Structure 1
């Protein structure tokens, strides 16, 4: 079986982070994704889905530090069914996504004025080995050095058989 979810959207609230007794971070947040489609009457319509996300470990700490409500992200993870008993005794359940990979899509100052670093006006530089953040240009290169075009971002390929596509 294959359980993989890839979503692009905006966070619906700031990341809520908690720590387990062993010190592992758990972050919870929501994401809103949009889909535009043409209705049966020919009218263009928008559909918005709200999905809960859970981050673990270092990813939770990075999300808490750099992401805010409205931040645009790409997440990859797996669908999970959460079940619990409410205070009134009823059994409750919901689906959420446990995030394995996080990619921040906003640039500093682009996120409707909220920014990533609070009063700093930008999100600074995360640790170099974390894999998050944007590469910094080499400012020590001489002005006469030839400029190379920026690398194109890689888009993950998804291996889907044409028989699995519903349209």
Structure 2
């Protein structure tokens, strides 16, 4: 009995019947949450006749134990982030830095583009609605060495 009531309430939440058209509109959800480190400083791009966009990538890591020796294996996945919202776009461009730990919330977007060799390619992008800065950038060991060489 309780399951039937719950199912009816859920159906009412996700469906809306429009009056006069006979159509039923269903709500849907496209939401992504990522927590990771920025792979490179952001770039702001603007195509002719379009609003600018800030683009950067973040890496997320997945770890698990394998085998009898319980060795730890790690897989890194890279995600392309695009920020279109004017205020957020400018703040992300100014403050996101390579190595920063960030939380990104947004939606998945699939698209196509033609590369410089005239080959059509598919791209998956996260369109960011929220970018939270969690700490200062991680200092990569090679960056530390470069700084010492300059002194």
User: Do the two structures share a fold, i.e. TM-score over 0.5?
Assistant: yes
In structure 2, the residue matched to 1:159 is none
TM-score (norm 1): 0.59
CA RMSD of aligned residues (A): 2.2
Q: For the structure 1 residues 23 and 65, does the alpha-carbon distance in structure 2 shift closer, same or farther, using more than 3 Å as the test?
A: farther
Per the TM alignment, residue 86 of structure 1 is displaced from its structure 2 partner at its CA by 2.6
Counterparts in 2 of 1:18-37, with a 5 A limit?
Answer: 18-19=45-46, 24-37=51-64
Per the TM alignment, residue 14 of structure 1 is displaced from its structure 2 partner at its CA by 0.4
1:44 aligns with 2:72: yes
Q: What are the ranges of 5 or more consecutive residues in structure 2 without an aligned counterpart?
A: 1-27, 141-151
Report if aligned partners of 1:53, 1:96 keep a CA contact under 8 Å in 2: yes
Q: Partners of 1:38 and 1:14 in 2: how far apart? A: 32
SS at 2:125's partner residue?
strand
Match of 1:112 among 129, 138, 141: 138
Q: Partners of 1:35 and 1:113 in 2: how far apart? A: 21
Q: Partners of 1:113 and 1:70 in 2: how far apart? A: 7
1:77 aligns with 2:106: yes
Report if aligned partners of 2:113, 2:123 keep a CA contact under 8 Å in 1: no
Q: Partners of 1:21 and 1:83 in 2: how far apart? A: 18
1:8 aligns with 2:46: no
In structure 2, the residue matched to 1:130 is none
Higher relative contact order (CA 8 A, sep 6+): 2
Report if aligned partners of 2:99, 2:139 keep a CA contact under 8 Å in 1: no
Post-superposition CA distance 1:1-51 (Å, at most 9, x none)? 321110000100001013466684310000011111122543221111111
State how many pairs are aligned.
111
TM-score (norm 2): 0.65
Q: Partners of 1:86 and 1:24 in 2: how far apart? A: 21
Higher helix share: 2
